[in-house]
Structure 1
Amino acid sequence: MADTTIGTAEQLKDPNYTPPLSKAIPLGIQHVLAMFVSNVTPAIIVAGAAGFGFGSDAGAQGFPDMTYMIQMSMLFAGIATLLQTITLGPVGAGLPIVQGTSFAFLPIMIPLVAGKGPDALGILFTGVLVGGLFHSILGLFIGKIRFALPPLVTGLVVTMIGLALVKVGIQYAAGGVPAIGKPEYGSLLNWSAALVVIFVTLGLKFFARGMLSISAVLLGLIAGYLYALTMGMVTVEGISRSWSLASAFALPMPFKYGFEFSAAAFIGFALMSFVSAVETVGDVSGITKGGAGREATDKEISGATYADGFGTAVAGIFGGLPNTSFSQNVGLIAMTGIMSRHVVTCGAIFLIICGLIPKVGAVIRTVPIEVLGGGVIVMFGMVVAAGVSMLADVDWNRRNMVIFAIALSIGLGLQLEPGAVQYLPDTLRILMTSGLLPAALIAIVLNLILPEELSAEATEEVSGGMSGDN
């Protein structure tokens, strides 16, 4: 519900309205709190997959790299958000769009870096750069390709993203990747830390209001962190050491990890850009409908897509991960009724400041992997739920059921059994075993070439056949 003490009803619907700073700054920080955990989590997961240590007592291995990646996640989320709110020529929608690190690319990024340490980061960030440039180009014709990406395709892809990541959440909650051979893997202590996060998050989300509900995941992680501290899973000495190792201020370094060509990375990031672009279009529409009660203009949609891609490309140069618009902040705008882009600008500046202070990233790095596991179980489950929600808009006739069944079976099957395509060339094998890209490609192609059916007859045939077999 809109707070009319901040401005009139008409002012609150105007993206160009500037509330008093005493109101705008807290509202901007509220946006940051809503997205903070989701924004830094992909960097932690990618760094962990590359083999960098978790927690304050993990030793110095990979400390600078993980801290730097967390730092860049905050910095370039803030910069990309500024591109959306302030705009730069055709780049940016001029709307209160909050940008953050995208989960969608994780199924592509994890295989690229798995167990390879810093050596794989050059390929990763070059892929981010190229994918971002490709994403920017989509701004020229994003409206013309939306016909190829109906809810059947986008819902399937979002669901697949969540399904590809839930395994990571369970592994983290149990204590890390089991291949490490830790005897405590899956112990009650490990699971108890994750469950504290889950229960606190659920309790706040459903039984609290206002900021407590909005920041439920963040507060859940803090509760899990405190629990881990009392149980000896993280020590004050370890936290102090991480704090002392990090500098108080640091600027990003261009091409810190080099520039390295990889066809698999380029193709993977480029293809996932389609999904990210469509997600952004949906978020822009949600903001204008929820905050101003109108449809988004073509200029706003195009500008938002440009900013998505340009922000990602710049992040790739300095060691940041792909950016996209954050849906949770769309819901926050609908809830507060405050459409001012300058409110989100305040939040962006706060993120940029955090991104320039490595000690912030060093403290985040000390979160035990089990505590993080509790948070990502909730977040990845919400990704699956978001995909299922999108699929609810699909007309489930025989044609669409067949498309969904084939795409899901092949995509999920290749993800679960990557050895099935072990003789493919390396580039193609990486793309296929992501599961996500083959599922999306199959769904898009089948949706374009299969003829439409009479939905009433087809649905009746499917439902009748299913009930008749039981």
Structure 2
Amino acid sequence: MSKKVSVYDLDGTPPLGEAIPLGMQHVLAMFAGNVAPIIVVAGAIKLPVEDKILLIQFAMFIAGIVTLIQLYPIGRVGAKLPIVMGTSSGFIPTCISIGAKYGLAGILGAAFIGGFVEIIFGWFLKPIRKFFPPVVTGTVVLAIGLSLLPIGVKYFGGGVGAEDFGSLSNLLLGTIVLVVILFFKQFTKGFTSLSSILIGIIVGYIVAIFMGKVNFAAIGNAGWFSLPTPLKFGMTFHWDAIVAMSIMFLVTTVETVGDISAITMGGLKREATDKELSGGVIADGFGSSLAALFGVFPNTSFSQNVGIVALTGVMNRFAVATGAIFLIIAGLFPKVGALIAIMPASVIGGAAIIMFSMIAISGINLITKEPLDGRNGLIVAVSLGLGLGFGLVPEILAYMPEWIKLLFGESGIVMSALVALVLNVIFPKENIA
């Protein structure tokens, strides 16, 4: 008689009654984070609502497909672990910078090439890991979080270009979302705590309807069913945009390695194998290039789902796959995308303040894995000082070529990454205080 498969087993097929709720828990935990980058970037580069609806629809579809690839690898593509994939928030500043100069097609072209760069990183992962200790990766993740905060605040106030930006009603709506998230995260346990961001957004959405801030016309105009169409938004290729995007893919490679390591340690109580790490990173890059074909921004592993694995111990791939299938189904119905696309900016802003701040906290946690003394302190200080300094004062590059402005202006993340990487190599390992 065969042994009954448990949701705590990596392989096998547990009963659907157990698998589906656990899979949906993963989807609910990542749903807001998956669509938020689409909404933020689409708003920043002023895409029409019709395009925003399609991008959200495609983002759900791609997240489900790439998650299945991580769960059930194709050759060397995939980690064969319960990794949930979705649109990366870390790329938002870079996407906005590229989009301001080259439009959506420029973002997608750079992301398409950048995905192949990450595939190469994944293929040769073992020899390059030594160049990315926590002080380097943590500095870059912290820079990403800090660079995103002004974007989150602008959404909190109603969105860039809104006629009522900063109005009391917008600030009130964003505050309601923020308070609801904090309440459910801090004062409840289990499912409601894990889904606090989604609950906050739902509550904020309902309040916004009663405040008269939601126009449902776009839902009526959206179709009931459609298959995502590749290359609908086109692609253009610009070397400065590709370089900037490729550097960000180097950063996300390190984040993915961290997520995979956390999953195996939290759920299997062991270190990740080189095969799992390499396969996971290759799938990350493949998924991002695939996403670009469908107009979606780069994909990456979602840390909040790593937290669910660590908290619940549920490692079963089939259970997570049920959630991935739900994402694919949702991505086939444009009205679902329309329902999300018309969400008022302040609702997203209330959630974004927390989501983006937690990225910064993740960076701090990485940095402080090692003593923040002389050597490490200098790496962090100089990297953030130059990176964020240039990002806050982009006019300092006024006399520089356009490609320099794109690489090192606006967000400053690329500058922070390069400075941290170089200083880590040239500074001796002993303290220099």
User: What residue number does 2:285 align with?
Assistant: 309
Distance 1:25 1:281 in 2: 27
* RMSD (Å), alpha carbons: 1.5
Q: Which of 336, 343, 351 is matched with 2:327 structurally?
A: 351
User: What residue number does 1:402 align with?
Assistant: 378
User: What residue number does 1:173 align with?
Assistant: 156
Distance 1:248 1:100 in 2: 23
User: What residue number does 1:212 align with?
Assistant: 192
What is the CA deviation profile of residues 55-80 of structure 1, one whole-angstrom value per residue up to 9, with x for unaligned ones? Answer: xxxxxxx1221001111111111111
What is the CA deviation profile of residues 119-161 of structure 1, one whole-angstrom value per residue up to 9, with x for unaligned ones? Answer: 7111111111111111111111112211111111111111110
Structure number with greater Rg is: 1
Q: Which of 98, 105, 112 is matched with 2:84 structurally?
A: 98
1:206 partner letter: Q
Sequence identity percentage: 47
User: What residue number does 1:75 align with?
Assistant: 61
Distance 1:130 1:250 in 2: 27
SS at match of 1:289: helix
Distance 2:162 2:65 in 1: 40
Distance 2:142 2:10 in 1: 32
Q: Which of 352, 369, 374 is matched with 2:350 structurally?
A: 374
CA shift for structure 1 position 428:
1.8
What TM-score does the superposition give when structure 2 sets the normalisation length? 0.96
SS at match of 1:175: coil
| 8 Å CA contact 2:7, 2:19 repeated in 1 | no
* 1:253-268 → structure 2 map (5 Å cutoff): 253-268=229-244
1:135 aligns with 2:118: yes
User: What residue number does 1:84 align with?
Assistant: 70
| 8 Å CA contact 1:14, 1:292 repeated in 2 | no
Distance 1:232 1:7 in 2: 52
What is the CA deviation profile of residues 284-324 of structure 1, one whole-angstrom value per residue up to 9, with x for unaligned ones? Answer: 11111111111111111111011101111111111111000
Report how many residues are paired. 430
CA shift for structure 1 position 83:
0.6
CA shift for structure 1 position 355:
0.8
1:43 aligns with 2:38: yes
Q: What residue ranges of structure 1 are gaps of 5+ in the alignment?
A: 1-5, 53-61, 459-470
Q: What residue ranges of structure 2 are gaps of 5+ in the alignment?
A: none
Q: Which of 417, 425, 428 is matched with 1:451 structurally?
A: 428
Distance 1:324 1:95 in 2: 14
Distance 1:251 1:93 in 2: 27
Distance 2:274 2:371 in 1: 27
CA shift for structure 1 position 47:
0.5
2:165 partner letter: Y
| 8 Å CA contact 1:72, 1:320 repeated in 2 | yes
1:34 aligns with 2:29: yes
1:448 partner letter: V
Pair 286,187 (structure 1): closer, same or farther in 2 beyond 3 Å: same
- 4+ long deviations beyond 3 Å: 11-14
| 8 Å CA contact 2:105, 2:236 repeated in 1 | yes
SS at match of 1:399: helix
SS at match of 2:138: helix
SS at match of 2:300: strand
User: What residue number does 1:197 align with?
Assistant: 177
Q: Which of 201, 205, 211 is matched with 1:231 structurally?
A: 211
1:186 aligns with 2:162: no
| 8 Å CA contact 1:97, 1:325 repeated in 2 | yes
CA shift for structure 1 position 96:
0.4
| 8 Å CA contact 2:223, 2:333 repeated in 1 | yes
User: What residue number does 2:311 align with?
Assistant: 335
Of 93-102 and 421-430, the range deviating more from structure 2: 421-430
User: What residue number does 1:59 align with?
Assistant: none
CA shift for structure 1 position 7:
6.0
| 8 Å CA contact 1:13, 1:292 repeated in 2 | no
CA shift for structure 1 position 201:
0.3
2:371 partner letter: D
What is the CA deviation profile of residues 262-295 of structure 1, one whole-angstrom value per residue up to 9, with x for unaligned ones? Answer: 1122111111111111111111111111111111
